[in-house]
Amino acid sequence: MKNPVSITLISLIILSTSCTKNLTVTSPDKQTAITLELNENGTLFYSIRSHGKDAIMQSLMGFELADSLYDFNSGLSFKTAERSVIDETYSLPTGKTSVYVNKANEAVFDFINRNGKILQVICRAYDDGVAFRYRVDSPAGITVRKELTTFGIPENTISWMMDYVPHYENIYQERSLDTIGFKPLSFPALMHIDNSLWLLLTEASVYNQPACHLRKSGTGNELEIELPEESYSVESLWESPWRTFILGTDLGTITESVMVENLNPPSVISDMSWIKPGVAVFPWWGNWMANSYIDTLKMYVDLAAEMNWEWIEFDVSLVGSPFRTSKLWETTDWLPEFTSYARSKNISVYGWDEINILKTPEGRDHIYGRYLDLGIEGIKIDYIDSDKQYAMQFRNSAMKDAALRKLMVSFHGETMPRGQRRTYPNVMTLEAVMGAEYYTFKANHSPSPVHNCTLPFTRNVVGPMDYTPVTFTIRPEVPRTTTYAHELALSVIVESGWLVMADRPEAYLKSPAKNFLKKLESAWDETRFIDGYPGDYICLARRKGDKWFIAGINSGEKREIDINLGFIKDGKYEIEIFEDKPGEEMTNIAIRKETITKDSTLHMTISANGGFCTLIE
């Protein structure tokens, strides 16, 4: 599949030696703008307004480089501005949409320091937010010691942020900023400003440098950038990550945004026809040693075939081991028989291994080559657990080398997405979430309904999320608090290029919702936010072709919502609604039929910690 791309660039260069007026970039709809300003000391600041509200108060810009000639933190003067219009469309095989619209106004502002060195600040304004990044060119190379960018959040702001952990498997706590201590915090950060404006703060386009974190600055509502290491170096040209602000007056702007992908470079893959999103089965969740036995794996292949699903995750290097890489698979003689069996059932296979095995080009050549010989079409790479420069560079190399061999990729033990699936569309999904895997451990916390109802507004906004959902089986060691219909609805709520179904075969084969499960999709043509609030509930509609999936999940007491169906095509539809069965909410569902048209309003009562879903086709 080729990328249909149309780009319109209109450039205007403004020359100035001292004037710093009109350093503003405004969105196409005129509702959002970012403004730069130099103070009397030549120190650079920025501010953001959206829909008549302050989104970011005047905040410091800048960074510390090792070379003092490249000191841009004071003594700056404005030099030039080059303005352009970005108007572009492109297609990707995965995501919340199939056609991505990248439309923004852009300005590249040049500032000169006392030593005659140039700092460029690139600003973009979209209808759904703004972004900026720094650019410095030094022939001798650049060592970055610190980024000084701050984020002045207005008072009366509620946030949903995660305390940083290297694998990003934590909860997004609802807190006012003044209650948060001086600790590392993770992107993305959702904020509700003055009960009227929504902001999702994140970063985009990180390949050759560390991924960053947030931290409280001072005693007020100010946040700052924190690097995961003391310094890092790049050759010649340094471009910082895009500091990204998704903004809107309603949560639909946040959940439907593809701004993070838009801020990444175009795809390096011209022919994407070999990239196959799909629903996968996951033997390890139900049996840690499942990957060691061909008969068990064949049982899961049969499950996938029966359910019309496309993939099996065969954790290749867990042959003979429950958790960490074993070399036993390299001398196990039944692997070709298994992959041949999967192919005979039209089920594709992806494997699993660790960064320690794949961190060198030689390691990737060996593993990727063996996979191709065995007919394995993708790989999950685990235990990275780092945002440092080496880890980001490893991910870039792993994605690139896999793309050259037409292998698809998933990352676990992982940082959150920063839009890389635009550049490497062979990236199917990333973990960076406390998902259903936690039911397999005797943990002191597991995915709660509140957590599930927060993820669509935070983690899953910025990219695919390998939650491994729809776990009907109740494990006594870590019992779930979600209902059966809640678990079923997660198959639509979670966006992931590989939608990895974690439960055992009998859980799906005997499910009252089997026919619904057989029609699941994992890549979407369109996503619509219907209703919701972070941590409370979420209702989404997702379209694939002429099929509309609608699903909702709830936390806390039961609630009622109305769904206007004006987005579906004309006609009369007989639909089945899957919802919680009173008295059997944890183990069963009720199925009721209803006749609808696009003029109908679907009234739903969602049970406590429950859910619902339906398919209109």
- Domains for the chain: give ranges and CATH numbers: 12-262 (2.70.98.10), 278-523 (3.20.20.70), 550-616 (2.60.40.1180)
Peptide bond into 188 cis (omega under 30): yes
CA-based Rg of the chain, rounded to a whole angstrom? 25
Length of the chain equals 617
> Tokens standing for 12?
């205007």
Q: Average pLDDT, stretch 448-456?
A: 98
> Are 542 and 492 spatial neighbours (Cβ–Cβ below 8 Å)?
yes
Residue 405 tokens read as: 């061999």
For residues 94 and 554, give the distance between their C-alpha atoms in angstroms, rounded to a whole number: 26
Helix (H, G, I), strand (E, B) or coil at 579: strand
Average pLDDT score over residue span 467-481: 93
Residue 510 is encoded by which pair of tokens?
């005997």
Mean pLDDT of 322-328: 95
350: left (phi over 0), alpha (psi -120 to 50) or beta: beta
What pLDDT is stored for residue 20 in this prediction?
54
Element (H, E) at 390: helix 389-404
pLDDT attached to residue 441? 84
**Per-residue pLDDT tens over the stretch 355-393:** 999 999 999 999 999 999 999 999 999 999 999 999 999
Q: What is the mean pLDDT of residues 473-496?
A: 95
Cβ count within 10 A of residue 64:
16
47 within 8 A of 36, measured Cβ to Cβ: no
In angstroms, the CA 386 to CA 415 distance is 7
List the end-to-end C-alpha distance of the chain, in Å, as a whole number. Answer: 26
pLDDT over 90 at 21, yes or no: no
pLDDT digits (tens, 9 = 90+) for 388-427: 999 999 999 999 999 999 999 999 999 999 999 999 999 9
pLDDT value, residue 15? 41
pLDDT tens for 102-153 read 999 999 999 999 999 999 999 999 999 999 999 999 999 999 999 999 999 9
Over residues 273-286, mean pLDDT: 98
CA atoms of 291 and 298, how far apart (whole Å): 10
What is the C-alpha separation between 144 and 121, in angstroms, rounded? Answer: 16
Average pLDDT, the chain: 95
Q: Report residue 446: phi and psi, to 5°.
A: -145, 170
Residue 155 reports pLDDT greater than 70: yes
Contacts 24+ apart (CB under 8 A), 82-85: 82/11, 82/12, 82/13, 82/14, 82/107, 82/108, 82/110, 83/10, 83/11, 83/12, 83/14, 83/25, 83/107, 83/108, 84/9, 84/10, 84/11, 84/108, 85/8, 85/9, 85/10
Q: Is the pLDDT of residue 219 over 90?
A: no
> What count of other Cβ atoms lies within 10 Å of the Cβ of residue 421?
26
pLDDT cut 70: percent of the chain above it: 96
